[in-house]
Structure 1
């Protein structure tokens, strides 16, 4: 029996609305959506996760049913937080989500946030899959 180094282990935590599938299983409700992605320094993920869950429960985003869920991926060198929404081409809503994320997480103005549609994400994943 061999133990893996802790540097090779990663974890993904997600919270999605009831009935929605996530990650690699696009759901009808979010197939035309996208996600805001924030790359985090180590040590920030647990606080940011708590803040974003509370903001979602408290309906601070003020976008109705537009938010599908949130994912945090704990990795070796950095952590990744993403918040998923239903409609990628609605600029007003995606901007409101971005601005609320900045406020709720108290992000510095120079924080880089990337928006990626689910279609673009699926293209990236499928182009990097190798079958053996």
Structure 2
């Protein structure tokens, strides 16, 4: 476990020119609108606060829940997934995490997703579409501890695979729980092997634990074949 996380666990517009007429003024207004949009985008970006410990990447928590057996399409899945919030520092992470329900206390068909800022937890996202995920199926009672160990290892850059990691998911189901970690390049076997070995270590998995790697392309195909849908999205 990364010590810096353990130590901090308890911490708790300007008006536009109204003169219209000349092309010059129109161009000026256009530039001002563009600047305003860029400034608004910058305001939305999460940054570490004064004296906080910045993470290497910004991240976003997401949550989704749906009724089992109800057909899902790309559109319905994307509408169902809710953004909880983003963070850029260790302190900001703990502010979210300390108030979130633990996976073991969730009910029904629920998922928590933790992905790098700008990456949606969907198979079709540009950062994910050529990648895949390592999947571990857990008996009930283990999800909360494994999820915490996994995301702390991810935020602490313990996987040592550069920018390959996209995010992680914990899926609560009726008979079992599932955790997975997503990476960008399914064809890079050396990198996926390093992720597997690190995952086994940080979760302290028994040697006989079954770990499955599945490409997102295969996930989409399986979903379409099973449900007869034209398109599908990740995390179902």
Fold shared, TM-score > 0.5 on shorter chain: yes
CA distance in 2, matches of 1:128, 1:64: 35
CA distance in 2, matches of 1:130, 1:28: 24
| TM-score normalized with structure 1 length | 0.89
Root-mean-square deviation (Å): 1.6
Residues 35-114 of structure 1 aligned to structure 2 (within 5 Å): 35-114=133-212
CA distance in 2, matches of 1:74, 1:42: 9
Residue 116 of structure 2 corresponds to residue 17 of structure 1: yes
Unaligned runs of 5+ in 2: 1-106, 230-236
Unaligned runs of 5+ in 1: 1-7
Larger CA Rg, structure 1 vs 2:
2
CA distance in 2, matches of 1:111, 1:69: 22
Moved over 4 A (4+): none
Per-residue CA deviation, residues 66-106 of structure 1 (Å, 9 max, x unaligned), is 00000010011100111000000101100000000000000
CA distance in 2, matches of 1:121, 1:38: 15
CA distance in 2, matches of 1:16, 1:59: 13
| TM-score normalized with structure 2 length | 0.51
Per-residue CA deviation, residues 12-64 of structure 1 (Å, 9 max, x unaligned), is 110011111113x5111121100000000100000000001100111000001
Alignment length, in residue pairs? 124
